Amino acid sequence: MESKKLLFLLLFFLSVGLVAQDLHTQANAVSVANESNSTAGWSGQATLTVDGTDTQSGNFSFVVVSTANGGRTLDYNFDAVVGQDYTIRIWAKFGPRVNNNTTGAFAVWSGLSGFETTPIVGTEWSEYVFNVTATSANPMIRIYTSNYASRFTAGNTILVDNVSILPAGAVVDDQSPTAPSNLTANGTTTTSTNLSWNASTDNVGVTEYSILEGGNVIGTTTGATTFNVEGLDQNTSYAFTVTARDAAGNVSAASNTANVTTLTAVDNQAPTAPTNLAATGTTTTTTTLSWTASTDNVGVTEYSILEGGNLVGTTSGANTFNVEGLTQNTSYAFTVTARDAAGNVSAASNTANVTTLEAADNQSPTAPTNLEANGTTTNSTNLTWTASTDNVGVAQYTILQDGNNVGTTDGETIFNVTGLAQNTSYAFTVIARDAAGNVSAASNTANVTTIDGGGEIDYTSANSNLETVDWTARDLFANRNVGIGTTNTQGYRLAVAGSVVAEEVNVKLQVNWPDYVFEKTYNLPSLQEVEDHILEQGYLLNMPSASEVEENGIEIGQMNAKLLRKIEELTLYTIQQEKKIKLLEEENRRIDSLAQKLEKLEEVIKENK
């Protein structure tokens, strides 16, 4: 029984010895088990580099090139047991050759018996096998790029790969480890995670684990089954696997995949303010803004463009913006703010002050149309017409009587002509003028003949008390003008020198009621234009001044029309302000929503701590 145990132990140790360690131990480009981008362990007089494009197997090989000063050797020494038989395997081939009649060779080996000089032949990879016996504890292998006659020729090249030095009779280990299993990730943060797995098994033993992300090696362990991955991006998905390697270089299949998503960091840091805001290419209605990008600890997601503090547009990261819809010859003040994904907003940029160009208006308004006269009396008539159109806007109408200017309106399409002679023919036309002074062609002609007074005697202070004048029995009719307390009617049908009291006054205007303000073609003045007019003139745009009222009085119907025009303009301004308010309310809702999300995120983070 005792002899059987000894036999078993002997066979065990013999079997272990059969899977021997490769004596080509360094990690370099020609190592079978430890391939790397290195020339470690090899030396010589030839030029030695690593190549990754032409290999026998693996990722790298040696390129050995002769020099002009006789450098043509590549040497390797290894530790050996004197008297031990060894099998040396080397893959080699020709590279580019300067001398086609020369050849490389394995020659002048030392510390080894049984070796014979062997030429390197051909441009295809070939394996060269040498069975030798060590006569020294530190034998040397030597490879020549060319023969002695070509020793001073530079550029003769050989390639070498996959060198192994094994004791004779040793069994080569070609069995891969099993795949690592149960790969899991834990302790994941915004930038790291901890991987762990069950160890692989191998017929000899696992020497290394490689950790891969997306198929790329990101680290190794020398047998440990845990690995801390660092330097990850927050809120990003990763797919990790692990492979096992043994001393012979055999690699296992990949483990299961551990899918990891890193945490999102709470971002309370606002971007820096945009800088160098400038405007270029300004026209009458547009300008182009550009600025230097903000920086942020995570990243800028949006820029907001403001004019006078009001939002006019956004970009999703672009640092240029084209502003449109501006008013000509108008000043604007633009700023820009940056926003990140967490909703943090930067301080405002510098202010870019812009004044749009003034358009050269050379286009005349169209001629007024449909000029008509109505309500004609012995000395007056009312003119109405259809408004002209203009590329900018009509500023004034001029009324011509037989070719002579008898009055103007500030855009109104009605005019009362007074001071005419009874039973007289007149020819009226109207022309339109814009703010640039361009004048339209004349309208159609409205021919008017005033009414004949018929020879009736006017009521005057001289005859008002005659018995023939009955003030109570009938209504008072007059074909001419009536003056009460005055003899100067100034062309009005009724002139009163003093106060008038009445239960009701019904004014029937034969004019266009100012609903034209709501037409799309109406040129609504900007509030800036209104303010400028007030500051310059001291009264509202398109309204009479105090001096004009003092000199000419007011016509109730026309004044009511002017006041209604202002009310309708105010209505349009109110609608515009309402739209801006709704835009700001929507912006506030977005900010509230982001704040709620931040609060929820903070609660989640507190729960996970």
pLDDT of 11 over the 70 cut = no
CA dist 300 and 159 (Å) reads 52
* Domain ranges in the chain with CATH number 2.60.120.260: 17-167
Q: What's the helix, strand, coil split of the chain in %, to 5?
A: 15, 35, 50
243 pairs with which residues across the strands? 210
Lowest mean pLDDT among 4-13, 156-165, 388-397, 593-602: 4-13
Dist CA 435 CA 362 (whole Å): 11
At residue 272, does pLDDT exceed 70? Answer: yes
- CA dist 101 and 94 (Å) reads 12
Q: Is 309 left (phi over 0), alpha (psi -120 to 50) or beta?
A: left
Two tokens at 104?
A: 């490389």
Residue 354 in this model has a pLDDT that exceeds 90: yes
Q: What is the pLDDT of residue 16?
A: 38
* Structural element, H or E, at residue 210: strand 206-213
- Phi, psi at residue 326, to the nearest 5°? -80, 165
SS3 of 472, please?
coil
109-121 pLDDT, tens per residue? 999 999 999 999 9
Cβ-based neighbours of 291, under 8 Å, separated by 6 or more: 274, 275, 276, 277, 278, 303, 319, 336, 349
Q: Are strands 482-484 and 494-496 parallel, antiparallel or unpaired?
A: parallel
Residue 35 · residue 134 · CB < 8 Å:
no
pLDDT top residue among 230 and 437:
230
* Mean pLDDT score, 376-385: 93
- Per-residue pLDDT reduced to its tens digit, 516-529: 778 888 888 888 98
Q: pLDDT at position 12, please?
A: 35
What's the gap between Cα 519 and its chain centre? 38
What is the fold of 277-355?
Immunoglobulin-like (2.60.40)
8 A C-beta contact, residue 159 and residue 92: yes
Three-state DSSP class for residue 17: helix
Residue ranges of E strands in 236-380: 237-246, 258-261, 275-280, 287-292, 300-307, 310-315, 320-323, 331-340, 352-355, 369-374
- Range with the poorest average pLDDT among 270-284, 324-338, 561-575: 561-575
Confidence class for position 541, pLDDT limits 50, 70, 90: confident
Taking the CA atoms of 514, 515, 520 and 526 in sequence, report the sign of the dihedral they define. positive
Residues of the chain with CATH 2.60.40.10: 181-261, 277-355, 360-461+470-496
Q: How far is residue 47's CA from residue 484's CA, in Å, rounded to a whole number?
A: 127
CATH number of 360-461+470-496: 2.60.40.10
Q: Which residues touch 360 (CB under 8 Å, ≥6 apart)?
A: none
Residue 453 has a pLDDT of 67
Summary mean pLDDT of the chain: 86
Q: What angle do CA 49, 52, 54 make, to 5 degrees?
A: 100
**2, pLDDT greater than 90:** no
280 C-beta neighbours (distance < 10 Å), count: 11
Among 6-20, 30-44, 494-508, the range scoring the smallest mean pLDDT is: 6-20
Nearest alpha carbon to residue 66 among 181, 184, 156, 165: 156
Query: By CB neighbour count within 10 A (0-12 exposed, 13-18 middle, 19+ buried), where does 533 fall?
Result: middle
Mean pLDDT for 160-172 is 84
The structure tokens listed for 109 are 């080996």
Query: pTM for this structure?
Result: 0.35
Segment 33-52 shows an average pLDDT of: 92
Q: Average pLDDT, stretch 30-44?
A: 90
Q: How far is CA 410 from CA 292, 377, 430, in A?
A: 48, 25, 13
Distance CA 431, CA 397 (A): 6
Residue 429 pairs with which residues in a beta bridge? 400
**pLDDT reported for residue 501:** 81
- pLDDT cut 70: percent of the chain above it: 90
Task: Tell me the residue ranges of DSSP E strands in 99-205.
Answer: 105-106, 112-113, 118-119, 126-134, 140-144, 157-167, 181-186, 193-198
Q: Is the pLDDT of residue 388 over 90?
A: yes
CATH H-level, domain 17-167: superfamily = Galactose-binding domain-like (2.60.120.260)
CA 579 – CA 312 distance, rounded (Å)? 12
More confident residue, 183 or 548: 183
Q: In the 8-state DSSP scheme, what is residue 110?
A: B
Interatomic CA distance for residues 518 and 528, integer angstroms: 20
Quote the tokens at residue 554.
Answer: 């007011």
Q: Are 368 and 443 in contact (CB under 8 A)?
A: yes
pLDDT tens track for 94-103: 999 998 888 8
Task: State the average pLDDT over residues 218-231.
Answer: 94
Residues 6+ apart with CB under 8 A from 578: none
In angstroms, the CA 192 to CA 306 distance is 40
Asked whether 252 and 201 are in contact (CB, 8 A), the reply is no
pLDDT in tens, 201-212: 998 889 899 999
Rounded Cα–Cα distance for residues 399 and 285 (Å): 34
Task: Give the tokens for residue 427.
Answer: 């020819």
Residue 488, phi-psi category: left (phi > 0), alpha (psi -120 to 50), beta (remainder): beta
Angle at 540 between CA 537 and CA 541, to 5 degrees: 85
**What would the pLDDT profile of 464-515 be if each residue is shown by its tens digit?**
555 545 454 445 555 677 788 887 777 777 778 788 887 777 666 555 677 7
> Looking at residue 58, what DSSP letter applies?
S
pLDDT at 37: 93
Task: Round to whole Å and give the CA distance between 368 and 433.
Answer: 10
3-state secondary structure string, 162-186?
Answer: EEEEEECCCCCCCCCCCCCEEEEEE
What pLDDT does 99 receive?
Answer: 83
Q: What is the gyration radius of the CA atoms in the chain, in angstroms?
A: 52
pLDDT of residue 182: 97
Q: Which of 111, 112, 143, 108 is nearest to 128 (CA)?
A: 143
One-letter amino acid at 381 equals T
Distance CA 384, CA 514 (A): 13
**How confident is the model over 120-143, as pLDDT tens digits?**
999 999 999 999 999 999 999 999
Residue 460 reports pLDDT greater than 90: no
- Of the two residues 377 and 174, the one the predictor is more confident about is 377
Which H/E stretch holds residue 574? helix 556-608
Q: Cα–Cα distance between 272 and 482 in angstroms, integer?
A: 78
Q: Which residues pair with 463 in a beta bridge?
A: none
Pick 181-261's CATH classification: 2.60.40.10, 3.40.50.300, 2.40.160.40, 3.30.930.10.
Answer: 2.60.40.10
Contact 222, 208 (CB under 8 A): yes
